[in-house]
Structure 1
Amino acid sequence: MHRPLRIAVGGIHIESSTFSPHLSTADDFEVTRGDALLARYAWLSPAQPWAADVEWLPLVHARALPGGAVDAASYDAWAAEIVDGLARLGPVDGVLLDIHGAMSVVGRSDAEGDLVTAVRSVIGPQPYVSAAMDLHGNVSPVLFAGCDLLTCYRTAPHVDVWETRERAARNLVEALRRGERPHKALVHVPILLPGEMTSTRVEPARGLYARIPEIEARDGIVDAAIWIGFAWADQPRCRGAVVVTGTDADATTGAARELGEHFWAARDEFAFVAPTGSMDECLDTALVAVKEPERRPFFVSDSGDNPGAGGADDVTYALARMLARPEIRDGAVRAVFASLVDRDAVAQVADLPTGSPVSVSVGGRIDARDPGPVRLDGVLEAVAEDPDGGRCVSVRVGGLSVFVTSRRMQYRQLASYERLGVPVDAVDLVVVKIGYLEPELFEAAGDWLLALTPGGVDQDIERLPYQNLLRPVFPLDRDFVADLTVATR
């Protein structure tokens, strides 16, 4: 009979654009502690066999929609709670870090590296640390050194989030049971690409990630992981990475080198997951396409202000371009714009009777780039409470329903549209602040374009004012020989 292992669980989970003026604060986060934290993990209810003989010790977990950098006070409070909690627990065998990997904190350039360093300062070098991450995270040398096991999602859009967390936990338990610290190998790949060029629905990312099961099945390999990296933070750690962990040093090192070389060799094959254009070019195409029933609803991604990647969620550029179209204003084309966050605008109109005429300025309060706030002169179409967006309204201007929310949110689920009485299958055109279409929207779309709009997560990364990246990095630089050195521990 094994003695019960003592494993602490916690983390801070957000991706943060340093190019977005939004500041992520404690109010943006969902925080869980105690039994509520452990209840997040399906393998504990009821416990899977590998997890049963473990004393799982909850710390704190904070999670938020992607946004701008996290204010230092909020981060410091949660990091201190994790550190203090570990100190109170006494000796532990391991720590499971449930993190994203692309958190930015005001004044820090490697937030997750800072967090794992703080954890190690309490638990010391002997306990094992396992990190579950998003493939759009970053693996800095400090994070790599502080963790014994690292793994990340293998799909984008991410449909294996919980599977990844379970894998990180299971790998940790099994490594502790073996009693041998895993070998690990890291290859930094000098590539920095937006997620919308690296969807695993299409090549080359589909084929690249398809290599993982075969490598993982080899003797001496525990886990293989590929990080695309996070393109919207101006930090030295932002670039592609491969990490392989295993029980055999040579097999681990060889697999990391192999995956890193395949990643680098595919660099010129990466392309946007959908046809792209300016907002006006996308509208030109969409307004013709919606005349064909099979292409409705036609989706256009307002990708530069995607809150799912860290955009402020209130850039009005795409809305203004829609309102400039006579077909939309006169109602010949039925359209939706989802959405803008503007708590004040919602408060101004939400208590009026449905159907009331309204005149309200929306957007441009956080990210004030052109054209800034836009005035909506229309009718209050609907009011609803949304679990993500809080109190929300739909303002109808001609043929256009403009969704305005009290909290930042991403309209990625069909139910969110239905709450405001505008199901997507009842309209011709949907412009949504998103990058690649999340699964429900992808299935609903008759056709789709990705607009290269301005914002804090501009998909045309060559327009971004990087100052601190490690150079050279593809595609900002092209004429160089990649350093694919394998770092081992």
Structure 2
Amino acid sequence: MSATTPSPPPTGRTRPTAEDGPARPRIGIAGIAIESSTFTPYRSSASDFEVRRGTADILDRFPFFTDGSDSGRVLHEAADYVGVLHARALPGGQLEREVYEGWKREITEGLAAAHAEQALDGFFFDIHGAMSVVGLEDAEGDLITAIRGAVGPDVVVGTAMDLHGNVSETLFDACDLLTCYRHAPHIDAWETRERGLRDLVAAATRVRDGGALPHKALVHVPILLPGEMTSTRIEPAASIYGGIPALTEREGVTDVSCWIGFAWADQPRCQAAIVAFGDDASAVEDAALELAGSLWQARHRFEFVAPTGSFTQCLDRAIASEARPFWISDSGDNPGAGGADDTTHCLARLLDREEILSGQVSALMVSLVDPVSADAAWDLGVGGRGEFAVGGRIDARDPGPVPLRAEVAALDESGPTGRAAALRVLDGERPTGLTVVVTGRRSQWARQEMFERLGLSMTGFDVVTVKMGYLEPEQYEAAADWMLALTPGGVDQDLVRLGHSRIRRPMIPFDKEIPAPGAADVRAGGGTPRP
């Protein structure tokens, strides 16, 4: 236990008496949510995060508590919630250690104080599941261990995670209920949190009243693949995840989940994981093994969600295509997976194309984080013209900052991007067909309203190059056709090229074969009453 972790509280905390009326379970909520690449030079800091403190602010984060739905109202009234701290950021690099330690201390001290005032029955660990912190191999495992030290062993702990998170043995042992998304793209993110919180409230109520904890089972499957190969839009992931609801309907099974793991961190915990929980130990273990077997059987069938190629190959096809707009994902620098958001590999190649320079083909590059260029654009104002050196300030791999002359077409600072500027590239004083968006903060342009702030449209250009992996729903709808460019960067899709050295082996795709999961691979727990 670290020196900053409060001592475990004694048991026997005060609880409401019968005279106080029907007792509702008391549920703490806290967490740090970020997806972190260990291969990017970027370091995530406090300024990257939206931080919420206190019950009202944290509960306001959950749309099912604020949208007026019957299920949300029932869940809100089913427990007394105690929010401590929640920090959330766009995926990035490893979190600075001192920032993490400060938030960990605030969370543990806040939970310890709340538990001392009146016993917590449950705790909702609101995380992504793929956070990396400088100097730690298992950040979520470290945080939940500290939290257990603050609230003791009797509090029922549940978590709801991104399916691209990691489930280490430490995290599994410390949590009583674990679930994750069933769709990629993540159209069920809030549905999953509502399900996880609902199951936690039910379990905490039952355990408080003398019932047993759910049985739980974990099976690791040594597969580590990017989300762009495991999208539930296509097979085999569509069928694997599509089969989960039927497993949860079995007698004695409450929930079954499949984490595909986080491919861009070099840590022993990074691999696929199956977790099930429910009232019947045998049924729970059987369901976990069955889903693990389905994943193992499909191990050689995973393919990219779209046609792939080098950026040059993708651009060749885009320019030649009659489909407009044609979207290209700069996947190796996807900020939504932790990329730096400023590599210039694609920008340099867009500037080499005569079809674009002449204006025959209109092209949009969105976006590169570059506060220096964004500030320069604001100094010039809309219509101003000047010289810029764009990108390559964080991830300076070849070619580094790209010089260009541009006219400021639009400015905006109303959104989460900080100062943003649309730069229309010039050839001398003549406008070309290329517009480049630069921003003050790392960002992911996945929604139409982000484009509209700069007077842009998702469908207003012949070719759109975006720093993404698979396209999010609004992008997917806007694209007449698209390709996934296998570009260099901190979230390179070529995992072997990245150079993992600390993952467990054997592991697909680093090894040709892995053993089939069996009963000996099941890690079980739960099923007993709390003292």
- TM-score, structure 2 as length reference: 0.90
Alignment-derived partner of residue 106 in structure 2: 81
Distance 1:323 1:108, change over 3 A: same
Kept after mapping to 2: 8 A contact 1:335/1:399: yes
Alignment-derived partner of residue 172 in structure 2: 144
Alignment-derived partner of residue 27 in structure 2: 7
Kept after mapping to 2: 8 A contact 1:189/1:241: yes
Check if 1:37 corresponds to 2:58: yes
Cα distance between partner residues in 2 of 1:11 and 1:453? 33
Alignment-derived partner of residue 264 in structure 2: 232
Distance 1:53 1:422, change over 3 A: closer
**Aligned-pair CA distance for 1:455:** 0.2
Check if 1:362 corresponds to 2:398: no
**Aligned-pair CA distance for 1:479:** 3.3
Check if 1:316 corresponds to 2:326: no
- TM-score, structure 1 as length reference: 0.97
Cα distance between partner residues in 1 of 2:306 and 2:146? 42
Indicate the SS of the match to 2:459: helix
Output aligned runs, 1:199-210, within 5 Å.
199-210=231-242
Output aligned runs, 1:78-477, within 5 Å.
78-90=103-115, 91-179=119-207, 180-289=212-321, 292=322, 295-397=323-425, 398-477=432-511
What is the identity, as a one-letter code, of the residue corresponding to 1:307? P
Kept after mapping to 1: 8 A contact 2:266/2:503: yes
The list of structure 1 runs, each at least 4 consecutive aligned residues, that deviate by more than 4 angstroms after superposition, is: none
**Aligned-pair CA distance for 1:50:** 4.1
Cα distance between partner residues in 1 of 2:309 and 2:227? 17
- Gapped runs of 5+ residues in structure 1? none
Indicate the SS of the match to 1:84: helix
Cα distance between partner residues in 2 of 1:6 and 1:429? 53
Alignment-derived partner of residue 21 in structure 1: 41
Alignment-derived partner of residue 529 in structure 2: none
Kept after mapping to 2: 8 A contact 1:51/1:170: no
**Aligned-pair CA distance for 1:386:** 4.2
Identity score, percent: 54
Max Rg structure: 2
Indicate the SS of the match to 1:359: strand
**Aligned-pair CA distance for 1:307:** 0.2
Distance 1:372 1:229, change over 3 A: same
Kept after mapping to 1: 8 A contact 2:292/2:517: no
RMSD, matched Cα: 1.1
What is the identity, as a one-letter code, of the residue corresponding to 2:216? K
**Aligned-pair CA distance for 1:174:** 1.1
Which digits, 9 at most, give the CA deviation of each residue in 1:112-151, with x for residues without a partner? 0001101100111111000110000000000000000000
**Aligned-pair CA distance for 1:351:** 2.5
Cα distance between partner residues in 2 of 1:43 and 1:92? 22
Kept after mapping to 1: 8 A contact 2:296/2:517: no
Cα distance between partner residues in 2 of 1:421 and 1:108? 43
Alignment-derived partner of residue 478 in structure 1: 512
Cα distance between partner residues in 1 of 2:514 and 2:248? 31
Indicate the SS of the match to 1:196: helix
Kept after mapping to 2: 8 A contact 1:304/1:459: yes
Kept after mapping to 2: 8 A contact 1:391/1:405: yes
Which digits, 9 at most, give the CA deviation of each residue in 1:45-76, with x for residues without a partner? 46532441311000100000000000001111
Kept after mapping to 1: 8 A contact 2:330/2:468: yes
Aligned residues: 485
Indicate the SS of the match to 2:109: helix
**Aligned-pair CA distance for 1:417:** 1.6
Kept after mapping to 2: 8 A contact 1:51/1:173: no
Kept after mapping to 1: 8 A contact 2:162/2:181: yes
Kept after mapping to 2: 8 A contact 1:376/1:395: no
Kept after mapping to 2: 8 A contact 1:99/1:133: yes
Kept after mapping to 2: 8 A contact 1:190/1:482: no
Cα distance between partner residues in 2 of 1:72 and 1:334? 44
- Decide which moves more: 382-391 or 312-321: 382-391
Check if 1:65 corresponds to 2:65: no
Distance 1:271 1:386, change over 3 A: farther
What is the identity, as a one-letter code, of the residue corresponding to 1:271? E
Cα distance between partner residues in 1 of 2:433 and 2:154? 63
Cα distance between partner residues in 1 of 2:74 and 2:380? 56
Indicate the SS of the match to 1:449: strand
Kept after mapping to 2: 8 A contact 1:386/1:416: no
Cα distance between partner residues in 2 of 1:424 and 1:82? 41
Kept after mapping to 1: 8 A contact 2:222/2:514: no
